[in-house]
Structure 1
Amino acid sequence: MISEGTAFTFAVIFGIITVLLVRSRDVHAWQAVCVGLFGLYLGQTPVLHTVHGLVIWLINGFSHP
């Protein structure tokens, strides 16, 4: 289960990225994924639990040497 603190933190991070992307007016594929993740975390949709697991898996994969 996702805690409210974790979901809020990810929503803020993806929200900041989204604002910066919209200001640049040039959105690439990975940036569109960030915008989509922001929407998922902000909306707390049912598919969020699966996506959150994938995001955590990716973060853990990139953080290990």
Structure 2
Amino acid sequence: MSEAEALPFVFFFGVITVLLVRSREVPWWVAVLVGLFGFYLGQTPAFFMISELVTWIVTRFSA
């Protein structure tokens, strides 16, 4: 599956995750972890932006 084909799935599962969080079935932090795992696993084009954000957050809080 190419990156272009994976993007609709990422969007779909993102919407499902948001709906689950809003219904309070899943805590927000679990949804964040699931989303990050999905981006790292799929390595969509958004992977590099999210990877830089996670790296920035980790370096800020670990110092």
Q: TM-score, normalised by structure 2?
A: 0.58
- The residue number in structure 2 matching 1:17 is none
- Residue identity opposite 2:31 in structure 1: A
- Unpaired runs of 5+ residues, structure 1, are 1-25
Counterpart Cα distance in 2 of 1:59 and 1:40: 17
- Residue identity opposite 2:57 in structure 1: L
Matched, 1:35 2:58: no
Counterpart Cα distance in 2 of 1:61 and 1:30: 19
Larger Rg computed on CA atoms: 2
- Alignment root-mean-square deviation, CA: 1.1
- Structure with higher RCO (Cα < 8 A, 6+ apart): 1
Alignment of 1:1-65 (within 5 A): 27-64=26-63
Q: TM-score, normalised by structure 1?
A: 0.56
Which consecutive segments of 4 or more residues in structure 1 shift more than 2 A? Answer: none
- Residue identity opposite 1:29 in structure 2: W
Report the number of matched residues: 39
